[in-house]
């Protein structure tokens, strides 16, 4: 699998430094990583923008690895579920159910705390978070189902 590290939410235009799904495909890649912690926290990408990028990539036949996760201070404040819910809700709300269950989109639990400090996350924590993410995706994908012609 070859994946690009980012792509933009529109096919073309004056967006210096951005890359489109078509450009990624021209290089031979079939996947793109979106929502990475650096894009969120260094470049200030919002959940809404990431959701738009995910939808555009999927509509243009790229597979998406959607990164979601909290910062250390969010985990310590006990807001992990709220943060992950907000991130997942936007993505699921912009994607058709078809994409979510066809393996065109993978959700990668990518808490920034892995990189800001060395912390051990118990397997039960990861398991509960995966279950929470799946139920959030299912709820929002079904409630915002987009029909295809």
Please report, for the domain that includes residue 56, its CATH number. Answer: 3.20.20.70
In a domain, 58, yes or no: yes
In a domain, 148, yes or no: no
In a domain, 76, yes or no: yes
List of residues 6+ apart from 107 with CB closer than 8 A? 66, 68, 88, 133, 137
In a domain, 118, yes or no: yes
Please check the confidence at residue 99 and state whether its pLDDT lies above 70: no
In a domain, 108, yes or no: yes
At 100 the pLDDT is 53
In a domain, 134, yes or no: yes
Closest CA to 59 of 136, 148, 134, 142: 148
Please check the confidence at residue 126 and state whether its pLDDT lies above 90: no
At 21 the pLDDT is 95
Name the residue range of residue 120's domain. 3-143
In a domain, 93, yes or no: yes
Domain count, the chain: 1
The pTM assigned to this predicted structure is 0.75
Q: What is the mean pLDDT of residues 57-65?
A: 90
Q: What is the mean pLDDT of residues 50-71?
A: 89
The model's pLDDT over 6-47, given as tens digits with 9 standing for 90+, comes to 999 999 889 999 999 999 999 999 999 999 888 988 899 999
């Amino acid at each position: 699998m070859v994946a690009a590290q980012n792509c933009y939410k529109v096919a073309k235009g004056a967006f210096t430094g951005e890359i489109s799904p078509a450009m990624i495909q021209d290089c031979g890649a079939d996947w793109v990583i979106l929502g990475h912690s650096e894009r969120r926290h260094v470049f200030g990408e919002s959940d809404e923008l990431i959701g738009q990028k995910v939808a555009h990539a999927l509509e243009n036949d790229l597979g998406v690895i959607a990164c979601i996760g909290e910062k250390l201070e969010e985990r310590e404040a006990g807001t992990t579920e709220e943060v992950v819910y907000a991130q997942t809700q936007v993505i699921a709300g912009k994607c058709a159910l078809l994409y979510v269950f066809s393996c065109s989109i993978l959700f990668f639990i990518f808490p920034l705390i892995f990189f800001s400090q060395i912390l051990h996350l118990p397997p039960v924590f990861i398991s509960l978070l995966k279950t929470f993410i799946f139920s959030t995706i299912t709820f929002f994908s079904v409630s915002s189902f987009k029909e295809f012609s």
